[in-house]
Homo-oligomer: A and B are copies of this chain.
Amino acid sequence: MQEIRLASRPTGWPTADNFELAELPTPAPGPGQVLIRNRFMSVDPYMRGRMNDVESYVAPFEIGKALDGAAIGEVVASNAEQVPVGATVLHGLGWRDFAVADAAHVRVVDPAAAPTLSAYLGLLGMTGLTAYVGLLDIAQFRAGDVVFVSGAAGAVGSVVGQIARLRGAKRVIGSAGSAEKVRHLVDDLGFDAAFNYKDAPVRQQLRDAAPDGIDVYFDNVGGDHLEAAIGSLNKFGRVALCGAIAQYNETSAPATPRNLALAIGKELNLRGFIVGNHRDRMPEFVAEVGGWLRAGEIESRETVVEGLAAAPEAFLGLMRGENTGKMVVKLG
């Protein structure tokens, strides 16, 4: 089997040198364990934080050991009755082609219930749940709201915008980093407006796109995007603080938002969240989003990279914003 290990901790932007591919004997499952042949693994922005030697809501990766993260695969050997050979399972041991996991730590899923196996890592997985919980529970979205989402062509942002549209937003606005992504948001995903944040200051482009202000901001970016959103938020506006990809690779803290004191008079509510503490919403999420997916009302674009050896490059591409929709690595 092969696995990707953290060779060294990046300072600032990570590079290929921070990763190494290792080969080792495929292990046999112990009692109560299963051997999984991985089919897809996820690369996610939050993994950048785990490359730093900082205690956070998840433990840091360790140098010289395999990275981990969400993956889906097939059971090829089993010492656990409830997870037989042939079962398709979701689990947390990505960044390797074979994985031995405790049967209690995997979730058996129905491969026929999704358009592709990789959807369980994206639209129908924690990525989609992040969008759902952040928009509906954290930002308390209500029909009639004007919604702005940054990183809107990304895995989470693209789902946020579509849920807002399907749930009756007055107007959905997205920012992204290329003209092609902006076109995708408007033409394919049904955003009412979108802009390329590289074209002009976010503050100005957001004002043009939302002349009457916004009610909800779903933040995947931080920095200038958050400052612009605070400026455009209406009275009683709400912010879901989900990510801050603009600053994950910076070595000094950003000097934004400078206008946070506006939150007093506007009576804004800004709330950070981690999807892991909201797993109880999975059944409602799967029912509602799964229904939209079967009805063809929601699109699940993915950017697929082939082969475990390319996983570091997939992650680096994600950091640079090269993906549209969920970035996954196809294995085996």
Contacts and interface: CB of A to CB of B under 8 A. Distances in A.
A112 interface: no
A208 interface: no
Contacts of A274: 264-265, 267
Nearest to A239: B270
A263 interface: yes
A260 B222 contact: yes
Q: How large is the interface on A (under 10, 10 to 19, 20 to 34, 35 or more residues)?
A: 20 to 34
Interface string A230-244: 000001000001111
A295 interface: no
A172 to B, nearest CB: 22
Contact of A271 (B222, B235, B256, B268): B268
A264 B272 contact: yes
Max chain B C-beta neighbours (<10 A), residue from A253, A257, A259, A277 = A253
B270 A270 contact: yes
Interface in A216-267: 222, 226, 235, 241-244, 247, 253-267
Nearest to A55: B265
Given A271-B270, A272-B265, A272-B266, A260 B57 contact: no
A269 interface: yes
A13 interface: no
A56 interface: yes
B261 A258 contact: no
A56 B265 contact: yes
Contacts of A272: 262-269
Contacts of A49: 265
A263 B267 contact: no
A269 B271 contact: yes
Contacts of A247: 261
Interface of A: 49, 56-57, 222, 226, 235, 241-244, 247, 253-274, 277
